[in-house]
Amino acid sequence: MQALLRRFLPPRLVLSVGLASIGIAGLLVGRAISEPTVRADDPNLQVDQNRGQATPPGPDSTPIPGATPDKTIPDWYVPYLNQEKVAPKFHGEINGIQLGAASGPTPSCAKTEIEPNWAVATLGTPFDLKLKALPDRVSLWGEPRVGLCADDGRVMWAMAILQVASGPYVNGMGGSVQVGRWESVRWASQEFLADRVTAGTIAGRPAVFADVGPSGFGQAAVFVLDKEIDGSTMVISSNVSLDYLKIIAEGLYR
Amino acid sequence: MSRFWFRLTALFVFATGLVAGVLLPSEASATTYTYYVTSQPGTNSGTAVLTCGWHSICTSGTDGNALDWQNSSSSAVYWRSWSSNTQGIDWVGRVSVQNRDQGTCHTTYAELKTPLGTSMDGIYFLHTASSIPSSPPYVMSSGAYPVTTYFVVGSSVSNDCETWPAHLHQERTSYWAKNSYFPTRATCDNDAGCQYDDVWGPYHSKITWYASGY
């Protein structure tokens, strides 16, 4: 029997097959150690990568004090959103700007006309938003709207939408910013988290800053008091950071 | 071969295999998932009547980022979307509805956020007084067929900006692709010329994004 085995299974063959098996076992263990279950290389490819692997927070959940949110699971922001929903909102005046107001003074004029040639209409007036010299990464989106008073032809307001390219100041692919400068308007109806509203200055002018909460929902804003028109400038975005909104706001006065 | 040398050789072979297994590039290929959300006319009526083609300010009506829809004063304005995805999941994001009023101009902004809270930019609804939902609504989706999502984001305001008759000016942001085949009418200088275009169903702007996993 042994002779038969030696004939068909020579020791060298057994040894070689055994060593090969050990090597393959090592290779498989190595692959098991190194193989990621999920990977997303592109920042834009992060969506849903852990879907099904973690339990999203429940609709009634609130943040665990001191805990760092796991931003890789869907709906991670829900506990913060729940908290922000009931958190105090700012209603009052800072640096001459009233926030959370239902209404307030508006330009005095019997009839408004919309001026299509915004650049000519605002040139040399306090309503020139310097939109032809925007900061890097920021571009004008569409045509700004300029409101004239038909009675005397004066500019009463100017509004524009800006686009910000993706980057460290933007949450996502890109961001849009709404800009407006209004005569007689020193108030805004937007409500912000009370603990996220602060006073400051932009281009040496009194200003108010409002930021989003930890959920990232809501909007960040800069309001600047424009005494020469008894009004204000408003810069609002929901996916561009407050820091970059300040840079954009400074640029509107250069 | 002595037993010692055999063990040493076996250990070496195993270790070589282990190291090779760790260092060799993965042969598994990433699966890329695609998500589509398309925006539809946000009018109160299921039959949307176009009153001005792609424009910025509706004096020329030849190009721009927005469309005007007939929507009477106080009528509801809706987020309406279709969505599908290649992962077969039932929702692809949530919508943060925001008040963007300034002075006498009412504006509502609806920002699409992915399940991880990343912004996919949004849609502006001008001349619209905001109605902010208590919780950001989900954008429903499907891997099999496009799923419709609709909810109220506000209501049309007449004499908005002290000059506009009630209508819905629905404007996309740059990451929402314009459907250049929509509307079929190229110019809309005369409002009457663009009335009664029954465009319910086709989308006017669309956003696509990707996710991958192994």
Q: What does the pLDDT look like over A162-178, one tens digit per residue?
A: 999 999 999 998 899 99
Residue B188 has pLDDT above 50, yes or no: no
For position B16, what pLDDT does the model report? 77
Residue A48 has pLDDT above 70, yes or no: no
A positions 17-36 inside 8 Å of B (CB): 18-20, 22-36
**pLDDT tier for residue A52 given thresholds of 50, 70 and 90:** very low
Of B14, B116, B161, nearest to A25 by CB-CB distance is B14
Grouping H, G, I as helix, E, B as strand and the rest as coil, residue A20 is helix
Pairs of residues, one from chain A and one from chain B, whose beta carbons lie less than 8 Å apart: 231
Is B54 within a domain? Answer: yes
Is B194 within a domain? Answer: yes
Q: Does B138 touch chain A (CB under 8 A)?
A: no
Strand-by-strand arrangement of the A155-165 sheet:
A112-115, A138-149, A155-165, A174-182, A231-237, A220-226, A205-210, A197-202
Is there a contact between A71 and B105 if contact means CB atoms under 8 Å apart? no
Task: Report the C-alpha gap between A232 and A223 in whole angstroms.
Answer: 7
Of A26, A35, A219, nearest to B18 by CB-CB distance is A26
Is B16 within a domain? Answer: no
Is B175 within a domain? Answer: yes
**pLDDT tier for residue A8 given thresholds of 50, 70 and 90:** low
Query: B56 contacts in A (CB within 8 Å)?
Result: 142-143
* A53 to chain B: closest CA residue: B213
Is B6 within a domain? Answer: no
B123: left (phi over 0), alpha (psi -120 to 50) or beta: beta
For position B198, what pLDDT does the model report? 46
Is B122 within a domain? Answer: yes
Instruction: Enter the DSSP assignment of A150.
Output: T
Strand partners, B149: B81
For position A240, what pLDDT does the model report? 97
| Average confidence score pLDDT of chain B | 83
For position A21, what pLDDT does the model report? 74
Mean pLDDT on A189-218:
97
Q: Where are the domains of chain A?
A: 2-34, 89-251
* pLDDT single digits (tens) A113-156: 988 889 999 999 999 999 988 998 999 999 899 999 999 999 99
- Pick from A147-151, A200-204, A242-246, B7-11: least confident: B7-11
Q: CB atoms < 10 A from the CB of A238, how many?
A: 27
Residue A55 has pLDDT above 50, yes or no: yes
Residue B66 and residue B209 in contact, taking contact as beta carbons nearer than 8 Å:
no
Of B21, B117, B122, nearest to A216 by CB-CB distance is B117
Q: Does A49 touch chain B (CB under 8 A)?
A: yes
Q: Does B17 touch chain A (CB under 8 A)?
A: yes
Residue A40 has pLDDT above 50, yes or no: no
For position A9, what pLDDT does the model report? 66
* pLDDT single digits (tens) A70-122: 888 899 999 999 999 999 999 999 999 999 999 999 999 999 998 888 999 99
Residue B93 has pLDDT above 90, yes or no: yes
pTM for this structure? Answer: 0.82
For position B186, what pLDDT does the model report? 46
**pLDDT tier for residue B61 given thresholds of 50, 70 and 90:** low
C-alpha distances (whole Å) from A159 to each of A183, B12, B71, B72, B80 are 12, 72, 23, 24, 26
Q: Does B111 touch chain A (CB under 8 A)?
A: yes
Query: B119 contacts in A (CB within 8 Å)?
Result: 170-173, 175, 238-239
The minimum CA-CA distance between A254 and chain B, rounded to whole Å, is: 23
Look-up of token digits 């996220």: A196
Residue A65 has pLDDT above 60, yes or no: yes
| Average confidence score pLDDT of chain A | 87
Of A74, A163, A174, nearest to B115 by CB-CB distance is A74
DSSP-based helix, strand, coil % in chain B, nearest 5: 10, 45, 45
- Pick from A10-19, A106-115, A235-244: least confident: A10-19
A162 or A19, higher pLDDT: A162
Q: How many domains does chain B have?
A: 1
**pLDDT tier for residue B209 given thresholds of 50, 70 and 90:** very high
Residue A182 has pLDDT above 80, yes or no: yes
Indicate the helix (H) or strand (E) that contains A187.
Answer: strand A187-188
Domain that holds residue B170: 35-209
For position B202, what pLDDT does the model report? 66
The percentage of chain B sitting over the pLDDT mark of 90, rounded to a whole number, equals 48
**pLDDT tier for residue B201 given thresholds of 50, 70 and 90:** low
Of B21, B59, B107, nearest to A34 by CB-CB distance is B21
